[in-house]
Amino acid sequence: QSPDEQKDYLFRGAAIYEEILERPTDAVAVYQQVLDVDGEELRAMDKLIELYLKLGQWEPLLLVYSRKANVVDDPEEKKTLLVEVGAVYERELGDSTKAMDTYQRILEIDPDDMTAIGRLDALYQASGNWQELLSVLEHGAELASDPSEVISYRYRIAELWHRHLGDAARAVEGYRDILEIIPDHE
């Protein structure tokens, strides 16, 4: 039997388990067998992702997401998968350290990815990681196209210097820059 024939039989078997017998766990085992035959079979990975999401099996889901992210060539698709990985770490497993590492990986692919920047902003703020938050806010301010967004970032940077980084002079400088652009800023 050729690998393609093997895969066809396995896909049919998995579909029977999944759709007719409603035994998703058995379907998972068969899709895993497909990956034993062809480690880069994206259709099997997609089915596993779908089933693990349905079953709420987060650890194996993360393994498949990571495996798929290593296989796909398209940077956009890779980023999308990593956003999903970060979200699982963040929401389902409550592991903000691994979530932060994942969002950092996205920035290695695309330093200007606003989704990753936004998630890192929230996570660094929640964990009190002020130095990292500062660099994320500065990067966000550089990328923001809307002037009010830029001001918002600049204000948060000045607040960070004022409240958490203990540099009143830098904070005053930041507030002064904002007042030069918007004289009646609160």
Nearest in space to 36 (alpha carbons), one of 6, 15, 16, 12: 6
| 121, 137 contact by CB (below 8 A) | yes
Give 107's contacts (C-beta < 8 A, 6+ positions apart): 113, 116, 117, 120
Q: Does residue 182 come out as left (phi exceeding 0), alpha (psi in the -120 to 50 range) or beta?
A: beta
CA distance 100 to 115: 12
pTM: 0.82
Per-residue pLDDT tens digits of the chain, which is 186 residues long:
788 888 888 989 999 998 889 889 999 999 999 999 898 999 999 999 999 999 999 999 999 999 999 899 999 999 999 999 999 999 999 999 999 999 999 999 999 999 999 999 999 999 999 999 999 999 999 998 888 898 999 999 999 999 999 899 999 999 988 888 888 777
